[in-house]
């Protein structure tokens, strides 16, 4: 099922693979952009550099995944995250594109602090 496949790909960015340059270069679309939790727009290169420079990644818990097909080969994945201790809750949206070869790549991502109780 597509939701499960993309949920696994998305969660791969929450663990040890955050520090795997080869994996990140394969997963992030060449035109990847992100609006960070703090409201800064970054590109693929900046994202990869930032992830590779993390000394210790906090354990990220993700839940409440929802998948919406926007067009053939283009979907939006929305979900919630927080650190394992419940801090830093965020609402997240990711736009995934499927290549002609059937490979999914992350084209756009945004994380927004979640309002209390949201």
pLDDT band at 18 (very low <50, low <70, confident <90, very high): confident
Pick the closest to residue 2 from 76, 82, 92 (CA basis). Answer: 76
CATH number for the domain including 20? 3.10.450.50
Residue 118 lies in a domain: no
Residue 59 lies in a domain: yes
Alpha carbons within 13 angstroms on the beta-carbon side of residue 30 total 1
Pick the closest to residue 48 from 113, 88, 106 (CA basis). Answer: 106
pLDDT band at 42 (very low <50, low <70, confident <90, very high): very high
Q: What is the per-residue pLDDT across 81-106, written as a single tens digit (0 to 9) for each? A: 998 888 899 999 999 999 999 999 99
Pick the closest to residue 80 from 33, 10, 9, 3 (CA basis). Answer: 10
What is the domain count for the chain? 1
Average pLDDT over residues 1-6: 96
Query: What pLDDT shows up at residue 57?
Result: 65
Q: Is the pLDDT of residue 118 over 60?
A: no
Structural domain boundaries enclosing 30: 2-113
Find out whether 48 and 42 touch, Cβ atoms under 8 Å. Answer: no
Residue 15 lies in a domain: yes
């Amino acid at each position: 099922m597509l939701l499960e496949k993309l949920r696994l790909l998305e969660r791969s960015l929450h663990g040890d693979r955050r520090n795997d340059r080869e994996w990140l270069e394969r997963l992030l679309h060449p035109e990847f952009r992100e609006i960070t939790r703090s409201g800064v727009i970054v590109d693929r290169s900046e994202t990869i550099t930032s992830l590779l420079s993390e000394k210790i990644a906090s354990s990220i818990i993700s839940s409440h995944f929802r998948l919406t097909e926007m067009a053939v080969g283009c979907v939006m994945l929305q979900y919630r995250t927080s650190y394992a201790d419940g801090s830093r809750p965020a609402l997240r949206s990711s736009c995934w594109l499927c290549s002609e070869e059937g490979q999914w790549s992350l084209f756009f991502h945004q994380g927004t602090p979640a309002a209390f109780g949201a």
